[in-house]
Amino acid sequence: MNWIKKIFQNSPKSPQSEDSVRDPQQSNAYDLIGGEPVIRALAHQFYLQMLQQGRASELLSIHKAPITESEQKLFEFLSGWLGGPGLFEQKYGHPALRARHMPFQIDEEMRDQWLFCMKRAIEIEISHPEHQAAIYQAISTLADHMRNQ
């Protein structure tokens, strides 16, 4: 989570929710962008974009139904990744994203479809342009790491 510290270090810290335990020295993107409601909306908007954008049809085809399960897992992952409660780890253990995505053929086109949907979701659900840019930059690096083709 070093990227969170670097990107959000100059932002004022938001009060932490009582139901989570986090490092008080860590700048917290999760709180700064709006916490659980925004992260949940971001995950929902990502899958909504995937469903609505013809450009993402190949990406959509590798997601099994019901899509709500994938949406919930994305929300849980993003929660911890952005500095909030580690919901994904609590349920499933370490994310090990590359290993979990290895069964899928992820090439540049698949990565680009995923980033297209995520960028649109970020632009819709995250209000501050500097937060949008920082999160998109970090998630782009992560998405590129998922390529296995």
Is residue 86 domain-resident? Answer: yes
d(CA 36, CA 34): 7
* DSSP, residue by residue, the chain: -HHHHHHHTTSPPPPPPTT----TTS--HHHHHTHHHHHHHHHHHHHHHHHH-GGGHHHHHTSPSPHHHHHHHHHHHHHHHTTS--HHHHHHSS--HHHHHTTS---HHHHHHHHHHHHHHHHHH---HHHHHHHHHHHHHHHHHT---
What is the total count of domains within the chain?
1
Is residue 19 domain-resident? Answer: no
Q: Which amino acid is at 116?
A: F
Domain of residue 118, CATH code = 1.10.490.10
Is residue 88 domain-resident? Answer: yes
Decide: 7 and 83 in contact? Cβ < 8 Å. no
What is the per-residue pLDDT for 16?
A: 39
What is the per-residue pLDDT for 6?
A: 53
Is residue 5 domain-resident? Answer: no
Is residue 25 domain-resident? Answer: no
Range of the domain at 111: 32-145
What is the per-residue pLDDT for 17?
A: 39
Is residue 1 domain-resident? Answer: no
pLDDT in tens, the chain (149 residues): 444 545 555 444 433 333 445 554 455 899 999 999 999 999 999 999 999 999 999 999 998 878 999 999 999 999 999 999 999 999 999 999 989 898 999 999 999 999 999 999 999 999 999 999 999 999 999 999 999 99
Is residue 22 domain-resident? Answer: no
